[in-house]
Amino acid sequence: MENELVLEQVSKKFDDGSLILENIHLRLPRGTKLSILGPSGSGKTTLLRLIAGLETPDSGTIVFNGVSLAACPPYKRNFGMMFQDFALFPHLNVVDNIAYGLKMKGMGKAQIAARVKEMLLMTGLTGFEHRHMDDLSGGERQRVALARTLAPQPRLLMLDEPLSSLDRVLRKRLLLELTSIMSTLNITTIFVTHDHEEAFTAGNRVMIMNQGRIEQTGTPMELVHTPKNQWVKAFLGV
């Protein structure tokens, strides 16, 4: 299927031999919104890093759009990843932060300007073009990070706790904006969060991880009504 992401039997150990991810199976048809929930250290970020190509699996396969990614370096995957700390460039202004990936791709000046303008509009940043990162609020920085991630039209979007550094009120508002942008773009999105409510709002599927393994994947309704085992039940508090 077009732009489907498939992980089969993916495992990852780190140098000390401890198993961080064990036998991960995952199939995400295009447009899936998957939220990943799990305790700290359960392997959520590692899983995203493997999909992004920033880590290599010890075994198993990662296939996108029918093509194995084993020999595909991160910059050729055209996946967007947004980190908790946003990883913005402090010495660049809003426009240059958003344009960064487009310049890397070798896009022409006029095309870049048009795409940046589109992104500013989509994320509500029009008027902030020349601000530097230090002169923006947390919420504004989050928007810049989202605009920068989406600008190169990634085939897959991965968000690692994108809202966790923001206060509650702002988090709620930005989550709604984020989910609306995600469904407009019909882009497959993996959203990692610690917050159950956030996971259920952002995802049409939710995956629960524990100690490097998938405990259960399902719709929010399935998880709440038919938790697979005692651990999931306790974790979700149902």
Ligand X SMILES: Nc1ncnc2c1ncn2[C@@H]1O[C@H](COP(=O)(O)OP(=O)(O)OP(=O)(O)O)[C@@H](O)[C@H]1O
User: Which residue, 43, 22, 34, is CA-closest to 191?
Assistant: 34
What binding mask, one character per residue, do residues 4-33 give for ligand X by CB under 6 A, x or -?
----------x-----x-------------
Is 85 one of the binding residues for ligand X (CB under 6 A)?
Answer: no
35 contacts which partner out of ligand X, Mg ion, none, CB within 5 to 8 A by kind? none
Residue 143 binds to ligand X (criterion: CB under 6 A): no
The residue within the footprint of Mg ion, chosen from 35, 42, 45, 193 (CB under 5 A), is 45
* Locus of tokens 């020999």: 71
Closest residue by beta carbon to Mg ion: 45
Please choose, from the candidates 19, 6, 14, the residue with its C-alpha nearest in 3D space to the C-alpha of residue 56: 14
Q: Which residues pair with 206 in a beta bridge?
A: 35, 218
Establish if 123 lies at the interface with ligand X (CB under 6 A): no
| Distance (Å, whole) CA 163 – CA 186 | 21
Going by C-alpha positions, the residue among 80, 78, 147 that lies closest to residue 119 is 147
Under 8 Å between Cβ of 153 and 102: no
Per DSSP, the residues of 181-217 read HHHHHT-EEEEEES-HHHHHHH-SEEEEEETTEEEEE
Number of residues that bind Mg ion (CB under 5 A): 2
Q: How far is the CB of 212 from Mg ion (least distance, A)?
A: 13
Quick check: 35 binds Mg ion (CB under 5 A)?
no
Which of 32, 35, 45, 201 forms a contact with ligand X (CB under 6 A)? 45
Q: Which is nearer to Mg ion, 33 or 44 (CB)?
A: 44
Q: Quick one: what does residue 40 bind among Mg ion, ligand X, none, with the CB cut-off 5 to 8 Å set by partner type?
A: ligand X
Interatomic CA distance for residues 52 and 139, integer angstroms:
25
State the binding partner of 97 from ligand X, Mg ion, none, CB within 5 to 8 A by kind: none
Could you list the residues that contact Mg ion (CB under 5 A)?
A: 44-45
Could you list the residues that contact ligand X (CB under 6 A)?
A: 14, 20, 38, 40-46
